[in-house]
Each structure stands twice: as C-alpha cells, then as structure tokens.
Structure 1
Amino acid sequence: MTKQLVDRFNQTGQSTLAVTEVPHEDTSKYGVIDPDKEVSDGLYEVRNFVEKPRPQDAPSDLAIIGRYLFTPTIFDELENTEPGKGNEIQLTDAIETLNHKEHVYAHKFNGKRYDIGSKIGFLETNIEFGLKHPDTKDELRSYIKKNSKDSLIFFI
C-alpha cells in the first residue's frame, strides 16, 4: 500500500491518502471522501472529507483507510485544528482544511485490506495469516477442525 501512495505522490506532488469502497451502511465507521473528479484510474481530487457520516449523509462509499502520505503542511493544520467529533482533534478535519490550501488526493487502494479495527476483523486477519504461515498452519487447521461444530469447515 505504501508503494502505491508513494507512486501517486510522485505523480501529483501533493498529499495523498488511501481509500477503499466500504458497504454504504458502514460509512459511519470511517472518514469518507466526497470525490470531485477522478483524474486518473483510481486517483481522485477531493471536494470534502467527512468524519464518520451517517449513511444517509455520506457523500460516497470511499472510506479513508488509515494510510497517508502528507506534505509537511499537515502539521500546521493539526496544530490549529479545534476538537471536533467526540471532542477530539480529528485528522479528517485537518485534512479538510489542508485540502482548501493545497490539493489532497485520494488513491483507491488495490489489494487485500485487513481491517483490524473490529473484533471480528482482528480475528479473521489472525486466522487467515495463521493458516498461511508455515509455523502455525497445521496446528491451527487441526484446532479449527477439532473445535468446529459446523461440518462446512471441510474446505480448510
């Protein structure tokens, strides 16, 4: 993911962050972009950044996924950002202000993303990596089969 952001930064010379499509009903869990236009395949100029909008207020389903490549100007914006949602200083608010001074681009991430921000996402990630790792895959597979009451686990 980092290489993708570096490549986009080298293309634009501007701050760039990673986004991915999320189910519309999940937009309230993320900062979401309001894309202005797609300037090249998967690279967006952004009109606005919205912190955790209700689904009915979300300007898109493109969620910020916690990977950023900023110009140093972001530090000035963070220093001057007032507490927002949850009475916390929100990075999304600083990005929104930065976007009015210089372009901030959004890059639609290509690849598999692991969301460990939820309990189930954390567990799914660990199980998937555990089943791929040569030191753990056999024991984990055995454990899952032994402890599963669901006969559909045969595919493991």
Structure 2
Amino acid sequence: MHKRVRTAVFPVAGLGTRFLPATKALPKEMLTVVDRPLIQYAVDEAREAGIEHFVFVTGRNKGVIEDHFDRQFELETTLELRGKTAALEELRKDLPSAGRTSFTRQQEPLGLGHAVWCARDIVGNQPFALLLPDMLFKGQPGVLKQMMDAYEETGGNIIAVEEVPPADVSSYGVIARGSGPDNGFAITNMVEKPKREEAPSNLIISGRYILQPEVFTLLAEQTKGAGGEIQITDAMQKLMHMQPFTGVKYEGQSFDCGSKIGFLTANVVYALDRPDIRDGFIAELKKLDLGVQF
C-alpha cells in the first residue's frame, strides 16, 4: 500500500523577469489566463487530484498570492449586497479550506531544487506533488490526476513528460524511456538541458512531479548545477539509484506561460473554450482580418 499523496508544493518565488515591467510589482503567478491567475489553475489541478494541503514557496513581493487564497470580507459583502451571487460563489469555491495552505520563504534565488528543499519541514516524511505554475495544462482529467492514477499502481516517484522537437531538448530536463505504456513506463535516466546529440530522448520533464521525501536529504547535499542553480533534476538522478521513477506521457495540451508566446497562446485557447465569451471573441478576431479561420 503506497502512502497517499496529500500535499502539493508550488514554487512561486521567481522574479518573472521575462514579463517585466508587468511583473515588477505583480507576481508572474498572478498573471491571468482570461480571468484566472496562473496559480489558481495549478491549485485547481491539485485539488482535482485529491491534494489537501497546499504549500507555497514564496519570495519578496509575493504577498498578493497569500491574499488571493484568503477571504476578502469587504468584497464578499459588496457582492452579496449587490446580488452577484454567482461571482460570490465562484470566489468561495476557489478557496482551499481553512488551515489547508502554508507559506514559506526561499529568501535567495538559488534554483528550483533549493525552493523545493525550503518546503521540507512543512511536507515532512511524506510523498508530495510538485507543480510549477508557469506550466499550464489543459486536459481531462488534469495531468496530476493522471499521475496519481499511475502512482496508485506503481508508487515511487512519478514524472509527467511530453515530446518536443529534438532541436529543443537543450532547453529542458530530458528522460530516457524504459519499458511500459504511455501512462506508466520506467524512467532509466534523466539529464538537465543536454546538448541535442547527447539527449537520451525527446521526452522532456514538463513541470509536474510526485516525489518521495528522501529527495529532501539529497537536496540538502546538492551542489549547484546547470545555470549555477541547485537543480531538482540532479537530486532526482541520485534518487533513481534508491527508488523507481515512472514516467507518464500525459494526455492533454501544455502551455509554457513563462514565455510570452506560450502565455498569449494559452489566453486564446482558453478564451475560445469559454461558452460565455467564445462567440464575441471570435467576432473581434474576425474584425482584425488575420487570415485565420475560426
């Protein structure tokens, strides 16, 4: 019987320099795809997968994230007085239950591995999910739920992967695929940002993980790797000698919202999927005469 995964970690301490000046005062995780912040999509995905405790690893100027996941009584009272019950219920539905969120500071930008390590005392000796909010996934069920299904079968550590053109592998962590079906195959190796000719495959680590707590011990001893940062991939490579890793080639569509192109594409796709704005949005796009059929 595998230990149940109840906790998810969200690293949200990054500076978001690719979106300056918008992110000078606004956390990049609060940038909206249509009308929902990126961090809300990640939390929604985690809740669908059965996560009960949400741990946010923050940095300076990230207090608005904590405010977002708190009740705003003045706003709720105003909506109630104005009879905007649908908006009020939507706000309340998005909130985790009282006591289900925790916040800790990274303090120094030392890399993703270091951010995960900062959550060690909150997570404790339990398996946990790790979600990178920059990566937005559109799928039914959500990617983390697909991974949870694999975890129930195999236990151990689970990584969501997707295919990219071979020319792009040097920008990502890349895995070597062993035996098994797409929804649960053995991972035999992984490397962070390899040269194209040295990459073990074109399957990249795509920002969703289920990890065992032993990774914290390895991260505590981890030296800086690619980019001069403490990399989670380097710690996972060591953990592979101790525990099995399973890959899930998820069903769905991904958007790298850490890039402007990915972020803008996500807004278009999600807008077109919204019944309340789809027709009006298409009408406005047609006015632009972009030469695209909708």
| TM-score under structure 2 length normalisation | 0.49
In proportion to residue count, which structure has more helix?
1
Instruction: State yes or no: 1:13 paired with 2:130.
Output: no
Q: 2:197 aligns with which of 56, 62, 69?
A: 56
The corresponding residue for 1:117 is 258
The corresponding residue for 2:237 is 96
Amino acid aligned to 2:202 = D
Q: Report the CA distance between 1:83 and its aligned residue.
A: 0.8
- Consecutive unaligned residues in structure 2, runs of 5 or more: 1-142
Identity within the alignment, %: 39
Q: Distance in 2 between matches of 1:117 and 1:127?
A: 16
Deviates most, 8-17 or 110-119: 110-119
Q: 2:287 aligns with which of 111, 133, 146?
A: 146
The corresponding residue for 1:26 is 168
Coordinate RMSD, CA, aligned: 1.6
Amino acid aligned to 2:256 = D
Change beyond 3 A, Cα 1:117–1:56 = farther
> How many residue pairs align between the two structures?
152
Q: Distance in 2 between matches of 1:48 and 1:81?
A: 18
Q: 2:249 aligns with which of 108, 117, 138?
A: 108
Amino acid aligned to 2:165 = P
Deviates most, 135-144 or 90-99: 135-144
Q: Report the CA distance between 1:41 and its aligned residue.
A: 4.3
1:87-127 CA distance string (max 9 Å, x none): 10011111111111111221111222233232212111110
Question: Match of 2:187, SS?
Answer: strand
Q: Distance in 2 between matches of 1:72 and 1:111?
A: 28
Q: Distance in 1 between matches of 2:281 and 2:223?
A: 47
Question: Match of 2:168, SS?
Answer: helix
- Consecutive unaligned residues in structure 1, runs of 5 or more: none
| Partners of 2:182 and 2:250 within 8 A in 1 | no
Higher relative contact order (CA 8 A, sep 6+): 1
Instruction: State yes or no: 1:84 paired with 2:225.
Output: yes
Q: Report the CA distance between 1:46 and its aligned residue.
A: 2.0
Q: Distance in 1 between matches of 2:181 and 2:278?
A: 40
The corresponding residue for 1:47 is 188
The corresponding residue for 1:130 is 271
Question: Match of 1:105, SS?
Answer: strand
Amino acid aligned to 2:185 = Y
| TM-score under structure 1 length normalisation | 0.88
1:32-90 CA distance string (max 9 Å, x none): 0022x213444222222110112111110110000001111122122221110111001
